[in-house]
Amino acid sequence: MMGLDPRRAGDSNATTWIDALDQLHRAGDLLGLPLGEIEMLAMPRRTVEVAVPVRMDDGAIRTFEGFRVQHSLTRGPAKGGLRYSPESDLSETKALAMTMTWKCALVDIPFGGGKGSVRCDPANMSVAELERATRRYASEIMPMIGPGKDILAPDMNTGEREMAWIMDTYQTVHGQSEMACVTGKPVIVGGSAARRSATGVGVAECVRQSCREISFDGPIRCIIAGYGNVGRTVAELLGREEEFRIVGASDLSGGRYDPHGLDLSALAEAADTGEVGSARTGEPVGRSELLEMSTDVLVPAAVGGVIHELNAENLHCRVIVEGANHPTSHAAEVLLGERGVQFVPDLLANSGGVIASYFEWSGGLQGLETLGSEVAARLEARIRQAYDTVVQHSAERNISTRDAAVVIGVDRVARAHRARGLYP
């Protein structure tokens, strides 16, 4: 591929970008796209690297690297989160932006894909330092962003607070009140209360859909590996339903397991202090060990790479619903697929956040309030439609659900490209 070799960029995360390109090429081959069209789909529309100088609390000046990638603008403005991590680099940011393009197209919302990052360690920065870094980053990428250009949202180590800072910076520079310039902002300044739980709502709906045609003996057992915002929402939603039992959960402190079901009240109490491993319910298990405990549905909802070829043979589940990004290696997926384990890929499973962001964005443009119950119902309906389409494509083409999800996304973007044509 001319012009697309990430190894020339010198980024430490080149493998992530290579994997994203490989995934695109598989989809392009399945769709019969010409190489030139695949290369056009692969190349980000805009990539910017900025210096983010920050005056630290002790008076010293530190300069961090910042990135913003707009992978596609074909179906609408770029949409994607902003993450703060000492491991972030350009290759990772490009790969994540590409994934957002296919995700938005898969669930059929009018956005392209974007992603931003600042290479910093927020754990070693004060709130004042983080605010100065956020506002400076926003000012540096200001010409690229806006409601009709690129809409930022929370991601790793960022949240409502950072979105409020970016919105305030944007409005101050432009001299106008523009609520749709970011999503995931606090409710008090135009955010949506439903946005906080939206990803978990979508994951829970994917669990329900994936269990529709499987015969289970008794209640469906679920393990939630990663009891953060997403995992906790999934557990609390499914735990209210008679057909489900939450038998395992974990966070950084460790895990708990009970084949008959955990006490969700005790689990919530422990989660409030970040100590799920010490919850007064079930038996203690290690985080890695929990993945291998007996269950019907496994929901990896924390970090990527937790399911791999070294532990895949030890997993005892029938369905994996990927609440986290990239939790399963390709080799592990092949091994588990041969055993009949069903997958709901991350591209679909954790798309609830961007769907809710779309509702928040469109409401902000129109000055309309979107009620939480309305968002949940519309989100679940969109997830169900996308799920059925993925399953149908998987069966018709005899491909994995992951490949089917990417094929659908790539096909919709490619068709939009052809409809628009090239300028000039």
Shortest CA distance to 184 belongs to which of 364, 378, 322, 366? 364
Structure tokens belonging to residue 152: 């930022």
Q: Where are the domains of the chain?
A: 43-177, 198-349
| Architecture label for domain 43-177 | 3-Layer(aba) Sandwich (3.40)
Query: How many Å apart are CA 128 and CA 424, to the nearest integer?
Result: 46
What pLDDT is attached to residue 9?
42
What pLDDT is attached to residue 303?
82
Cis-peptide, bond into residue 77, ω within 30° of zero: no
Structure tokens belonging to residue 123: 């754990």
From first to last of its 424 residues, the chain has per-residue pLDDT tens of: 434 444 444 444 677 899 899 999 999 999 999 999 999 999 999 999 999 999 999 999 999 999 999 999 999 999 999 999 999 999 999 999 999 999 999 999 999 999 999 999 999 999 999 999 999 999 999 999 999 999 999 998 999 999 999 999 999 999 988 899 999 999 999 998 888 899 999 999 999 999 988 888 889 999 999 998 899 999 999 999 999 999 999 999 999 999 999 999 999 999 998 899 999 999 999 999 999 999 999 999 988 889 999 999 999 999 999 999 889 988 999 999 999 999 999 999 999 999 999 999 998 888 776 666 688 889 999 999 999 999 999 999 999 999 999 999 999 999 999 999 999 8
Query: What's the burial of 8, exposed, middle or buried (CB within 10 Å: 0-12/13-18/19+)?
Result: exposed
| Residue labelled with tokens 């209360």 | 193
What pLDDT is attached to residue 10?
44
- Residue 317 near residue 290, CB atoms below 8 Å: no
Say if strands 46-55 and 254-257 run parallel, antiparallel, or are unpaired: unpaired
φ, ψ (nearest 5 deg) of residue 3: 75, 5
Shortest CA distance to 206 belongs to which of 227, 230, 178? 230
Query: How many Å apart are CA 4 and CA 20, to the nearest integer?
Result: 12
Query: How many Å apart are CA 261 and CA 281, to the nearest integer?
Result: 9
Say if strands 78-84 and 342-344 run parallel, antiparallel, or are unpaired: unpaired
Give the helix, strand, coil percentages of the chain, each rounded to 5. 50, 20, 35
Same fold, 43-177 and 198-349: yes
Q: What does the pLDDT look like over 38-79, one tens digit per residue?
A: 999 999 999 999 999 999 999 999 999 999 999 999 999 999
326 conformational bin, left if phi > 0, alpha if psi -120 to 50, beta if neither: left
Tell me if the domain spanning 198-349 has CATH number 3.40.50.720: yes
The mean pLDDT of the chain is 92
Q: How far is CA 385 from CA 211, 379, 389, in A?
A: 16, 10, 6
Q: How far is CA 28 from CA 25, 34, 41, 399, 413, in A?
A: 5, 8, 10, 14, 11
Catalytic residues: 115
